[in-house]
Amino acid sequence: MPATYHHENLRETLLAAAISLIGEVGPTAFTLREVARRAGVSHNAPYRHFRSREDLLAAVASQGFRELAGAMRAAGQKQGDALDRLKSAGLAYVAFALRKPEHFTVMFDAPRSEDLSSDAAEAAKEAFSELNLLVLAVQANGHFAQNEPQQQSLYAWTTVHGIAKLATSGRLPWRTKSGIMRFAAFAIDQSLAGA
């Protein structure tokens, strides 16, 4: 009955179906067979494109890390001094989490980080290195303690990650994205007040 026996680009279709399913039921209740059903293929078709359920999730995570890295890079290139650009990138991190909560959840919750495909691991490193560069620029500008660049970078990461994580798990009291973003701006400013 299918016009084309070959789906022609099942991989993308499966990824999209997976993301929407995760959005509905979460990454735990997420099911390979349901993804196949939504893509209109047999329950085993996904195995031609992903080695396992975990592997599909890892692909979602990869995609998320790449988009996150891009969003931070873009935000970090806006005009302003180094500190402003670091703040922009931090806001972009939170904004990404709010815009793609399914991705964000899979990226940081689902599997043990070592289980991520090397592809996802590389994408994650890439995203973090964006933040790293911006922190180094801030330090070069004379802000921050001049030592411990690694700790400063990780501090920046933990700050935005905490906001994003609590926001996406629905534990912050604001119900609108803009409310949360306003709080994020407040928190990020506060976190850099000593710089």
Partner DNA sequence: AACCTATGTGGGCAGTGTCAACATCTGCTC
Partner DNA sequence: GAGCAGATGTTGACACTGCCCACATAGGTT
Residue ranges of the alpha helices (H) in 46-171?
A: 53-76, 82-99, 101-108, 118-140, 149-168
> Site for a copy of itself (CB under 8 A): which residue of 109, 119, 122, 126?
109
Is residue 62 within 8 Å of residue 119, measured between CB atoms?
Answer: yes
> Site for a copy of itself (CB under 8 A): which residue of 42, 113, 141, 146?
113
Distance in Å, CB of 44 to a copy of itself, minimum: 22
d(CA 10, CA 182) in angstroms, rounded, equals: 40
Is residue 103 within 8 Å of residue 173, measured between CB atoms?
Answer: no
Residue 17: both structure tokens together:
């179906």
194 binds, among DNA, a copy of itself, none (CB under 5 to 8 A by kind): a copy of itself
Distance in Å, CB of 175 to a copy of itself, minimum: 13
191 binds, among DNA, a copy of itself, none (CB under 5 to 8 A by kind): a copy of itself
d(CA 13, CA 57) in angstroms, rounded, equals: 14
Burial category of 146 from C-beta neighbours within 10 Å (exposed 0-12, middle 13-18, buried 19 and up): exposed
- Judged by CB under 8 A, how many residues of this single chain contact a copy of itself? 39
x/- track of binding to a copy of itself for residues 7-26 (CB under 8 A): -------------------x
Query: Given the rule CB under 8 A, which residues bind a copy of itself?
Result: 26-28, 108-114, 148, 150-152, 154-155, 157-163, 165-166, 169-173, 183, 186-187, 190-195
